[in-house]
Structure 1
Amino acid sequence: MSRAPGNTAAPEIRRGRIYRDLYEKRASGPAVQGDAHLERARIQGDRLEFAGSRARETALADGVFLLEIPADIDVAAGDAFSRQFHLGPDSPPYGRFRDLGSEHFGDPLLGFHQRVNQIEQFLLERRFWASDYPPEIARLGEQLTRLSQKVLCAVLSHVGVPERDRRRATGGCSRAAGSYHLTFNHYRPEHRDVGLSSHKDDGFLTILRTTTPGLEVNRKDRWERVPVDPDCFVINFGLSMEILTAPTKAPVAAIMHRVARQGGDRSSFGHFSSSGCAPGMDEGVFRYLPGSGLDRVCGSRELIDENDHEIYAGTDAPGDKRREH
């Protein structure tokens, strides 16, 4: 089932405009109205297979679906890291990462952080994985990067973005050469706040591993809880994908999501794929206009900064740019 092309007008990536139609959805008041019955897919070779074309269209329109964890990806080390990194050096082997803050990496985004919500996290960009993550965690990060590439290319093929344009359109992500972050999250039950405030991610897609309830998504103007499925990753799409595909035959939504207040310990980990945004390497964020090609909308860093200002203001380290789930 094909849908008519989406909005061909260039979006406004500036303060106060990204979420101009979504403030009511983002308010803390709206309660969950039921479970989210998400579409399910699996990777077969380089193909992304759903139960049928309608399931694929629903998943892309929703901006979120479940992906069966491939047999060659062992998530056990990631689960252990997410449970331990916040405990401190007296809790080996991963508790020592609590003492590695942004100053260790020379980047305010990276390392250990505690947030104003219940979340605390440890986050590293791909350039640090081999040197600073344990080998089993670095290996997991690379496996997730390859998985993200397969999902991304399958979706771009479906919506009609030609292969010749994909590297530039995705800042290298179509060739596993974009900007990637691997983050581990813990939610502090003693901290009196929501788990994580509602937001959209700024990148192309997120691979999320969670084994505890708490994740909620906004579909069709309803907040729904995502049931836990230990055999699946949650895949959600971000603003870069929404912008890129909006004018195509099958626009992909960026899903609004949040984490409910947690009464007990909750851990998760996630992998984020984005365009490169380092100085001199920021090709930008694009939309694909069928018949015309790529149209640059803004810089990758500009999108990150404006999105963060809308949603993430008020961290313990002012000016942080972060990836959280």
Structure 2
Amino acid sequence: MTLDTMPLQRAAVTGPGLRFDAAGGLSRALRDGCFLLAVPAGFDPGPGITLCREFHRSPDEGPAATRAYRGFRDVPGVYFDREHFQTEHVLIDGPGRARHFPRELRAMAQQMSALTLLVLRAAMTDLGIAPAVWSEITGGAVDGLGTHWFAANHYRPERAKLGCAPHKDTGFVTVLYNEEPGLEASVDGAWVPVDPVPGHFVVNFGGAFELLTAALDRPVRAILHQVRQCAPTPGAADRFSFAAFANPPATGDLYQVHEDGSAAPVRSSEEFLREFNEQTWSDRHADFGIAQDDAGIADVVGARGGGTS
């Protein structure tokens, strides 16, 4: 039987945690690999939408009021043209956002980043992982360290290509805002639409979380997803999406936690990211997220091992 759309659990933020509509909803979401999260009151997606509409334009192509959102094509290590797909995107970490984003856009991205951490903590609590090891096993990501990416995606319908490559996100948690259909998830070997629900983010879990929990009796699923080819629609705006990601550091180790509560490193982040980049995008950016700067320190500004939706 082919599903018309993927059925997803629904949740809302309540205080420092999550409340799911259905009993056992979080456990089901961890098995599914994704769920819907109600957009909190007061969240304004406007700056993110403006960025998606403008980042690929030249600084002088449009009104002065949105100039700060344009010109990203000329920022190396921040703008990526995915030559084999419809998507082009801005990929940028916290320090990069401080340098390049206007104040209201930084604030919106920070709100979404805070949601990734709230989800990560709620998930680890549900799985029975002791808070004492959270910082170590996430490379500090749960404490706001690690790498907290933000992506803004623009899909070019004039390209007769897949919208975005089939992939799993590499990190722990992704919080995605989208308004148009196109996102699909792999369910039992078939691509099933994950249609947007007004007033909700799509939250999905990534490869680092899947690896971290693989030895538990309730392992997290990192969902395989893609964006199908977006057909041009006369008079309609191009498809867009934007997302925040909670990832481990680009260098160091990825961990696995066991039923007895112990944890051990099982793979290097660098190896994990390089394999993802090479297998997913098949382009010239295999080193992004793990390149070294002149001081020999990992330069992760604007270079993410993750995905787009």
TM-score, normalisation: structure 1: 0.82
1:245 is matched with which residue?
213
303, 307, 312: which one aligns with 2:276: 307
233, 237, 245: which one aligns with 1:272: 245
Displacement after TM superposition at 1:304 (Å)? 0.8
1:219 is matched with which residue?
187
Displacement after TM superposition at 1:305 (Å)? 0.8
Letter in 2 for 1:287: Q
1:130-151: per-residue Cα shift (whole Å, max 9, x none)? Answer: 1211111111121112111111
Matches within 5 A, 1:84-233: 84-89=54-59, 90-92=61-63, 93-94=66-67, 96-102=70-76, 108=77, 110-233=78-201
Which region of structure 1 is more displaced relative to structure 2, 293-302 or 184-193? 293-302
CA distance in 2, matches of 1:241, 1:133: 29
Conserved? CA contact 2:79–2:88, under 8 Å: no
1:258-314: per-residue Cα shift (whole Å, max 9, x none)? Answer: 00000131111011111112xxxx331111012151111111122111111111112
Aligned length: 283
Quick check: 1:290 aligned with 2:259? Answer: yes
**Long gaps (5+) in structure 1:** 1-31, 103-107
Conserved? CA contact 1:182–1:269, under 8 Å: yes
Letter in 2 for 1:46: P
Conserved? CA contact 1:205–1:273, under 8 Å: yes
Displacement after TM superposition at 1:98 (Å)? 3.4
Letter in 2 for 1:154: A
**Long gaps (5+) in structure 2:** 233-237, 290-303
Displacement after TM superposition at 1:123 (Å)? 1.6
Conserved? CA contact 1:159–1:249, under 8 Å: no
2:20 is matched with which residue?
50
TM-score, normalisation: structure 2: 0.86
Displacement after TM superposition at 1:208 (Å)? 0.7
Determine what percentage of the aligned residue pairs are the same residue: 30
CA distance in 1, matches of 2:283, 2:91: 18
Quick check: 1:235 aligned with 2:209? Answer: no
What do you get for the CA RMSD once the two structures are aligned? 1.8
Conserved? CA contact 2:98–2:106, under 8 Å: yes
CA distance in 2, matches of 1:112, 1:137: 19
38, 59, 65: which one aligns with 1:68: 38
Displacement after TM superposition at 1:205 (Å)? 1.0
1:181-226: per-residue Cα shift (whole Å, max 9, x none)? Answer: 1111000011121101211111101111001110001123332101
Displacement after TM superposition at 1:252 (Å)? 0.9
Quick check: 1:77 aligned with 2:47? Answer: yes
CA distance in 2, matches of 1:241, 1:318: 22
CA distance in 2, matches of 1:276, 1:152: 15
